[in-house]
Amino acid sequence: MSKNIGKNPLGEWGRAKSSNISARGIRDYAYLVIRRHGSPIHFREVARLISEVFKKKAHVATTHNELIKDERFILVGRGLYALKEWGYSQGIVRDVIADILKKHGPLTKDKIIEKVLKERYVKENTILVNLQNPKFFKKSKEGLYSLV
């Protein structure tokens, strides 16, 4: 029994062969660090925390490359990564707007901005520029945006 259960450096218990307990590589360390942090975090900070917490040398560029490649992480802002399991959706701002409009139907500009800012850490102008794209979004006479 004791061979099957293990403890990671963060004090968490689980199956010994699980990547959460027996972390191998920067991806697994990054996952543990971001999960422990509890909110989106910049990749440089992830590298610094890996070095501090796990006493492993984590280069910033390597950490960033691993975050990009792994499906568990979502880019939510300029260099900010969150975990997919937290409910963030993948894709660019235009995709997030499209998902919101599919889910909620036509919305006002302010409602769209409010909902996108819950998903992404971007400036309002980024959202507004995406809404102006006539290939994807149209504005009604009432001021409601919908998908083309």
Q: What is the pLDDT of residue 10?
A: 66
The pLDDT > 70 percentage for the chain reads 89
**Mean pLDDT in residue range 99-117:** 93
The answer, as to whether pTM is greater than 0.85, is no
pLDDT of 68 > 60? The answer is: yes
Q: Which domains does the chain have, with CATH numbers?
A: 5-86 (1.10.10), 93-147 (1.10.10)
Which stretch of 2-11, 32-41, 85-94, 106-115 has the lowest confidence by average pLDDT? 2-11
Query: To the nearest whole number, what is the mean pLDDT of the chain?
Result: 88
Q: How do residues 35-56 score in pLDDT, each as one tens digit? A: 999 899 999 999 999 999 888 8
Q: What is the pLDDT of residue 17?
A: 64
Are 106 and 146 spatial neighbours (Cβ–Cβ below 8 Å)? yes
In this structure, is the dihedral angle defined by the CA atoms of residues 101, 94, 92 and 127, taken in order, positive or negative? negative
Q: Which residues are within 8 A (CB) of 111 and not within 5 positions of it... i.e. 6 or more apart?
A: 104
Q: Which residues are within 8 A (CB) of 15 and not within 5 positions of it... i.e. 6 or more apart?
A: 4, 5, 6, 21
Q: Which two tokens stand for residue 110?
A: 């302010």
